[in-house]
Amino acid sequence: MPGAVIAKEPAMPILGIDVSSSQPEKFPTSGSDFAFIKVTEGHTYTNPKWRAQRRTAQNAGLVTGFYHFARPGPVSRQVDFFLSKIDLADGDILILDWEDARVSCAWKDAWLKQVKQRLPGHKAILYCNRDFRLHRDTSSFAGDGLWIAQYNGRPGHPAIKESFLFHQYTDKPMDTSLGAFKDRAELRKWATTLPVPA
């Protein structure tokens, strides 16, 4: 992951939340440095609140990311659908939400690679839970970084041996994650720094 800022145990972690249509358009932002917002699922569903939720995040000065929930079906069709719905700003992070057991590791890899090919100026990362990462992810490919979910009561310390960028550690009162960056500025710098060509 060229240019990534990674730490197994972030000394000064930052907090963020992720939202979907289950949360209000004006969700709480106090104490957060980033917000990841669901935009699409499969090739037919669009979160009707995502634009308003983006405004809420932007008005609070948060670093923003947008995610697609993977469902079975042609990869390119879902990439097209996701990218057709979103107009991006510099530093927006793109995320694949891999939770459906019917979606293969190869599908996951292809989605991330296609998004990276089409939008090389944006970081694209993988979200999955610990079980998927350990038992379904045979390639360990996560694009520009891993966002791992495990509610183990140890924020910032998921039970994996590899490096990660974000740890989703609770869903109470909202889905909340720690980021392995010392502050919001460092996260923003990572999100806007392009990899050096090989």
pLDDT in tens, the chain (198 residues): 444 444 444 445 899 999 999 999 999 999 999 999 999 999 999 999 999 999 999 999 999 999 999 999 999 999 999 999 999 999 999 999 999 999 999 999 999 999 999 999 999 999 999 999 999 999 999 999 999 999 999 999 999 999 999 999 999 999 999 999 999 999 999 999 976 554
In this predicted structure, what is the pLDDT of residue 6? 42
User: Which ranges of the chain does DSSP label H, i.e. alpha helix?
Assistant: 50-59, 75-85, 105-118, 130-135, 184-192
The partner residues of 178 in beta bridges, in order of sequence, read 15, 167
pLDDT at 194: 78
| pTM to 2 decimal places | 0.92
Report how far residue 58's alpha carbon sits from residue 157's, in angstroms, rounded to the nearest whole number. Answer: 29
Determine the pLDDT at residue 4.
41
CB 14 within 8 A of CB 187: yes
> What pLDDT score was predicted for residue 195?
66
Instruction: Name residue 95's amino acid.
Output: I
- Give 50-55 contacts, CB < 8 A, sequence gap 24+: 50/85, 52/25, 52/26, 53/19, 53/23, 53/25, 53/27
**β-strand partners of 168:** 149, 177
Geometric angle at alpha carbon 29, from 2 and 17, rounded to 5°: 45
Domains and CATH numbers, the chain: 14-192 (3.20.20.80)
Q: What is the mean pLDDT of the chain?
A: 93
pLDDT the model gives residue 196: 53
**What pLDDT was estimated at residue 81?**
98
